[in-house]
Amino acid sequence: MSTSARLAVAAIGTLAMGLGLSLAAPASAAPDEAVYDALGDSYAAGFGAGTVLGDAAGCSRTDTAPPVRLDGRKRIALDDFVACSGATTADLAAQLPALDADTDLVTLTIGGNDIGWTQAIGACLLLDDPTCAQAVAGSRLLVQGLLPARLDAAFSAVGTAAPDAHVVVTGYPHLFTPEAGAFGNASPQEQEALDEGADLLNATIRAAADRHGLVYVDVVKKFDRHGVNAADPWVDPRTFHPTLEGQEAYAAALTAGIRPQRLR
């Protein structure tokens, strides 16, 4: 480069500095974070593993719950974490104030507490075979006859409260690994019946999500061979809820199910 050319370049640089300009290529603007609100029951709250958060107000929300693990992934920023252990579809109304027009992402696990599922599991673990069969049959009747309308109402309410949000609904895992043998009073055959009941519950939730244009995320495969009686359980035998490994499996399924193109 000639002396005159070097002087010209230096002059242009000095002028740019004096005018507050930059000759560097403009940096790409960082994408906005997606505002994320987490709703649901104990599976969303992270009950049974991790440390209960100080603001849990009896809901047993923990610091290792799937929504907490999801925070920061895919430019997602957890805003309101209001999932509450024991919540039914009717209880979801108390969580809806967390949603508004600014909500970009909602995750939701709901429905298991509407159908007497805990009672069915308890009957099979602790009582005789006829009582187990009756409890499972009763729970299946509730899934088929009661739950669809309740899910429709719940999902409609979420859509109204967060009209522009990407809504992702998760199902429930199989709690047992029947090939691992009996657990409590639950024989492998009864465990299969309970897992089939979970399949019916999940299919009902998926169908409702489809009716409302929501994304359904299956977690059954993630928990394959990791039931409560497996050699490597991801379901805690004390709580029948995911262990830390199980919570990470939920978070991984959620992460894979979120569609970035639907986040504003």
Q: Would you write out the chain's pLDDT as a tens digit for each of its 264 residues?
A: 443 334 333 433 433 333 333 444 344 334 588 999 999 999 999 999 999 998 767 899 999 999 999 998 989 999 999 999 999 999 999 999 999 999 999 999 999 999 999 999 999 999 999 999 999 999 999 999 999 999 999 999 999 999 999 999 999 999 999 999 999 999 999 999 999 999 999 999 999 999 999 999 999 999 999 999 999 999 999 999 999 999 999 999 999 999 877 776
pLDDT of residue 27: 40
Reading the block at residue 259, the tokens are: 């569609």
The pLDDT of residue 264 is 66
- Total number of domains in the chain: 1
Amino acid at 134: Q
242 φ/ψ angles, rounded to the nearest 5 degrees = -60, 140
Output the pLDDT for position 94: 96
Domain encompassing residue 211: 30-115+150-185+206-258
- Is 164 among the domain residues? yes
Residue 69 domain-assigned?
yes
At 82, which CATH number?
3.40.50.1110
Say if residue 236 is exposed, middle or buried (CB neighbours under 10 Å; 0-12, 13-18, 19+): middle
- What is the per-residue pLDDT for 22? 40
In a domain, 176, yes or no: yes
Assigned domain for 192 exists = no
Secondary structure class of 211 (helix, strand, coil)? helix
- What does DSSP assign to residue 52? B
Does 13 reside within a domain? Answer: no
Residues forming the active site: 42, 241
> Residue 216: is it exposed, middle or buried by C-beta count within 10 angstroms (0-12/13-18/19+)?
middle
- Is the distance from CB of 93 to CB of 100 less than 8 angstroms? no
Residue 25 lies in a domain: no
Domain-embedded: residue 212? yes
CA distances for 10 relative to 3, 5, 202, angstroms = 11, 9, 69
